[in-house]
Chain A
Amino acid sequence: MIDFLQLTVAGLSQGSVYALLAVGLIATYTVRHVVNIAQGDYATLAGLGSISLVTAGLPLPVAILIALISVTLASVLIERLVISRVKNLTTLVSIILTLGVSTLLQAIMLLIWGAEAKRLPAFPGSDLTLGGVSIRSQELWMLGALVVVGGGVLLFYEKTRWGKALRASAEQPVAARIVGISPAAASVIAFAIAGFVGATAGVVSSPIYLSIWSGGLLLGLKGFVAAVLGGLVSFRAAIVGALLLGIIESYVAGYVASGWKDAVAFFILIIVLIIRPAGLVLRPNAVRV
Chain B
Amino acid sequence: MHRAQRRLLVPAAVAASIALALTGCGASNFGGDSGGEAASEEGPIKIGAVLDITGVGANLGVPEQNTLNMLAEQLNADGGIDGREVELIIKDNQSTEDGAAKATTQLIENDDVDLIIGSSRTGPSLAMRPLVEAAQVPTISVAANAAIVDGSEWVFKTAQNDLVVLERILDDAASKGYTKIALVRDATGFGEGIADIITELGEERGITLTATEAFEPSATDFTAQMTNIRAADADAVIIWGITPSAGLAQAAYVQLGVNKPVYQSHGVANDAFFEAAGPAADGVIAPMGRLLVADELSDDDPQKPVIDQFIADYSEEFGSSPSSFAGHAYDAWLVGTKALESAGTDPEALRDAIESTTDLVGISGIFTMTPENHSGLTADALIMALAEGGRWTLLEE
Which chain A residues have a beta carbon within 8 Å of chain B's beta carbons? 3, 6-7, 9-10, 14, 110, 114-119, 127, 129, 134, 136, 208-210, 213-214, 250, 253-254, 257-259, 261-262
What is the 8 Å Cβ interface bit string for chain B, positions 192-232, against chain A (1 contact, 0 not)? 00000000000000000000011110011101110110110
Contact B62 A115 (CB under 8 A): yes
Q: Is B58 an interface residue (CB 8 A)?
A: yes
Contact A10 B223 (CB under 8 A): yes
Known contacts A110-B54, A117-B276, A258-B219: A6-B227 contact under CB 8 Å = yes
- What residue of chain A has the Cβ atom nearest to residue B62's Cβ? A115
Contact B214 A257 (CB under 8 A): yes
Known contacts A116-B272, A134-B256, A258-B214: A7-B223 contact under CB 8 Å = yes
| Count of A-B residue pairs with CB < 8 Å | 80
Contact A259 B255 (CB under 8 A): no
Contacts of A134 in B (CB 8 A): 255-257
Contact A210 B248 (CB under 8 A): yes
CA distance A9 to B53 in the complex (A): 35
Return the contact of A258 from the options B213, B230, B275 (Cβ within 8 A). Answer: B213
Contact A210 B220 (CB under 8 A): yes
What is the 8 Å Cβ interface bit string for chain B, positions 29-69, against chain A (1 contact, 0 not)? 00000000000000000000000011100110110000000
- What residue of chain B has the Cβ atom nearest to residue A119's Cβ? B275
Whole-angstrom distance from the CB of B267 to the nearest CB of chain A? 15
CA distance A214 to B50 in the complex (A): 20
CA distance A7 to B383 in the complex (A): 37
Q: Is B395 an interface residue (CB 8 A)?
A: no
CA distance A6 to B213 in the complex (A): 17
Contacts of A258 in B (CB 8 A): 187, 213-216, 219, 224-225
Q: Is B327 an interface residue (CB 8 A)?
A: no
Return the contact of B223 from the options A6, A114, A119, A129 (Cβ within 8 A). Answer: A6
Whole-angstrom distance from the CB of A12 to the nearest CB of chain B? 11
Q: Is B244 an interface residue (CB 8 A)?
A: yes
- What residue of chain A has the Cβ atom nearest to residue B220's Cβ? A209
CA distance A14 to B224 in the complex (A): 12
Contact B257 A129 (CB under 8 A): yes
How many chain B residues sit at the interface, stated as a range, is: 20 to 34
11 contacts between A and B (CB under 8 A): A7-B223, A115-B62, A129-B257, A136-B255, A208-B220, A209-B220, A210-B220, A210-B276, A214-B55, A250-B223, A259-B214
Return the contact of B187 from the options A110, A213, A259 (Cβ within 8 A). Answer: A259
CA distance A50 to B74 in the complex (A): 37
Contacts of A136 in B (CB 8 A): 255
Known contacts A3-B231, A210-B244, A214-B55: A10-B224 contact under CB 8 Å = yes
Contacts of A127 in B (CB 8 A): 255
Contacts of B228 in A (CB 8 A): 3, 254
Contact B244 A117 (CB under 8 A): yes
CA distance A242 to B225 in the complex (A): 22
- What residue of chain A has the Cβ atom nearest to residue B222's Cβ? A258
Whole-angstrom distance from the CB of B172 to the nearest CB of chain A? 27
With most chain A CB atoms within 10 A of its CB, the pick from B62, B223, B248 is B223
CA distance A116 to B55 in the complex (A): 8
Contact B62 A114 (CB under 8 A): yes
Contacts of A114 in B (CB 8 A): 58, 62
CA distance A129 to B259 in the complex (A): 14
Contacts of B61 in A (CB 8 A): 115
- What residue of chain B has the Cβ atom nearest to residue A254's Cβ? B224
Contact A14 B221 (CB under 8 A): yes
Contact A119 B255 (CB under 8 A): no
CA distance A259 to B213 in the complex (A): 10
Contacts of A208 in B (CB 8 A): 220-221
- What residue of chain B has the Cβ atom nearest to residue A207's Cβ? B278
CA distance A7 to B213 in the complex (A): 15
Contacts of B62 in A (CB 8 A): 114-116
* Further 4 A-B residue pairs, CB within 8 A, beyond A253-B221, A254-B225, A259-B214: A7-B223, A210-B248, A213-B54, A258-B214
Whole-angstrom distance from the CB of A172 to the nearest CB of chain B? 43
- What residue of chain A has the Cβ atom nearest to residue B272's Cβ? A116
What is the 8 Å Cβ interface bit string for chain B, positions 321-348, against chain A (1 contact, 0 not)? 0000000000000000000000000000
Contact B214 A115 (CB under 8 A): no
Contacts of B187 in A (CB 8 A): 258-259
Whole-angstrom distance from the CB of B318 to the nearest CB of chain A? 12
Contacts of A3 in B (CB 8 A): 227-228, 230-231
Contacts of B53 in A (CB 8 A): 115
Contacts of A261 in B (CB 8 A): 219, 224
Whole-angstrom distance from the CB of A268 to the nearest CB of chain B? 18
CA distance A168 to B264 in the complex (A): 58
Contact A253 B55 (CB under 8 A): no
Contact A116 B257 (CB under 8 A): no
Known contacts A3-B227, A129-B257, A214-B54: A119-B276 contact under CB 8 Å = yes
CA distance A119 to B279 in the complex (A): 14
Known contacts A6-B227, A7-B223, A10-B224: A115-B248 contact under CB 8 Å = no
What is the 8 Å Cβ interface bit string for chain B, positions 230-256, against chain A (1 contact, 0 not)? 110000000000001000100000011
Contacts of B244 in A (CB 8 A): 116-117, 210
Whole-angstrom distance from the CB of B372 to the nearest CB of chain A? 36
Whole-angstrom distance from the CB of A209 to the nearest CB of chain B? 4
CA distance A268 to B213 in the complex (A): 25
With most chain B CB atoms within 10 A of its CB, the pick from A117, A129, A259 is A117
Contact A116 B223 (CB under 8 A): no
Whole-angstrom distance from the CB of B264 to the nearest CB of chain A? 18
